[in-house]
Amino acid sequence: MTWKMPAEWAKHERTWLAWPAADYAQEEDAFLAWSEVANTAAEYEPVTVLVNERHLATAKKYLSKEIELVVCELDDSWIRDSGATFVVNSETNALGAIDWIFNGWGAQSWSNYELDDKVASFMAQKVNAEIIKSDLVNEGGGIHTNGSGLVLATETVQLGSERNPDWSRAEVEAELNSKLGTEQVIWIRRGLTRDYETFGTKGHIDIVACFANEDTILVHDQQDASHPDNSVTHEVIARLEEQTRANIIRVPAPNLLKDDLGFVDYSYINHYILNDAVLLCAFDDPIDQVAKGILEDVYPGREIRLIDARPIFDRGGGIHCITQQQPQIAAR
């Protein structure tokens, strides 16, 4: 059976999120940020939020009554990474759910992931999707596909010793292509600098570059030479130009360079495409409106909704990291 991951801009059946579960996220600003993403998404399509039973009452206070709440034991709330990667079989019109091995972003010492490694199969069972098991350690934030044969990935993620030490590059490529229905893996060497610090993912692609359509790639553009991601930008663009003929559009980074912990990885690339809208990370920065204008051009017909993503980034990710799309199955 041939499976294929549709592009994110393909029609959705629903959007999935996971309510803040870890102790570090039990704070008002996190509740407000996660709920704003979920409630805004619910204006455009059905939304399902997974929630620990002990957090159910809190979630109900913040979330729209239109949102479906499903009790599921969770370690954390990054459903893009721990949740199912949904795929579709065009011949049978079946819905599949890839269950990658999830090991807490490379078995990091601070990460608890025993419960989260079961989330993908839980989601699949909830919507009667066929579970497609993979032996590859991978996360949804580590891949981005155009739905037409290409997938973006990062060498320090799938090829890193913390995830798949016994896999060759050819074996990783074969597994990604087999499960996603792609034909070519486009590799960048590394991700943004902050992502290699203690609580990072070691280089997720979805904060660096993403497809906006079959032939267009948006790239994080750190223009300030004092920021270490300035050199990362140049390297990423060079690697993409070597491997693809896609139209590459630079999306400037916010003006803010540092927070209390050092250089930030604030990025507009980590947005989420809904059926008729795009949820765009905002940072109370003048470049917010510049990024909004770029996305209005590349996603015509979709409303660009700005959401303050700083509380999400403060905890290690962005809007794309806390969402997961379930594609709509065509009527037979």
Residue 1 pLDDT level (bands cut at 50, 70, 90): low
Single out the residue of 246, 88, 81 nearest to residue 180, CA to CA: 88
Is the pLDDT score of 332 beyond 60?
Answer: no
Residue 90 pLDDT level (bands cut at 50, 70, 90): confident
Residue appearing with tokens 């909704």: 305
The CA distance from 269 to 252, in Å, is 10
Give 302: exposed, middle or buried? Use CB within 10 Å, 0-12, 13-18, 19+.
middle
Average pLDDT, the chain: 97
Question: Is beta strand 68-71 parallel, antiparallel or unpaired with respect to 47-51?
Answer: parallel
The CA distance from 136 to 175, in Å, is 7
**Global confidence as pTM:** 0.97
Give pLDDT tens digits for 128-138. 999 999 999 99
Is the pLDDT score of 118 beyond 90?
Answer: yes
Percent of the chain with pLDDT over 70: 99
Give residue 62's pLDDT.
98
Give residue 327's pLDDT.
98
Give residue 172's pLDDT.
98
The CA distance from 70 to 87, in Å, is 22
DSSP string of 29-75? HHHHHHHHHHHHHTTTS-EEEEE-GGGHHHHHHHS-TTSEEEE---S
Give pLDDT tens digits for 165-216. 999 999 999 999 999 999 999 999 999 999 999 999 999 999 999 999 999 9
Residue 331 pLDDT level (bands cut at 50, 70, 90): low
Structure tokens at 25: 């996220």
Give pLDDT tens digits for 208-264. 999 999 999 999 999 999 999 999 999 999 999 999 999 999 999 999 999 999 999
Give pLDDT tens digits for 254-274. 999 999 999 999 999 999 999
Homologous superfamily in CATH for domain 12-327? L-arginine/glycine Amidinotransferase; Chain A (3.75.10.10)
Give pLDDT tens digits for 91-106. 899 999 999 999 999 9
Give residue 330's pLDDT.
78
- Tell me the catalytic residues: 321
Percent of the chain with pLDDT over 90: 97
Give pLDDT tens digits for 16-64. 999 999 999 999 999 999 999 999 999 999 999 999 999 999 999 999 9
- Say whether 183 sits in a helix, a strand or coil: coil
DSSP string of 219-269? EEE---TTSTHHHHHHHHHHHHHHH--PEEEEEEPPS--EETTEE----SS
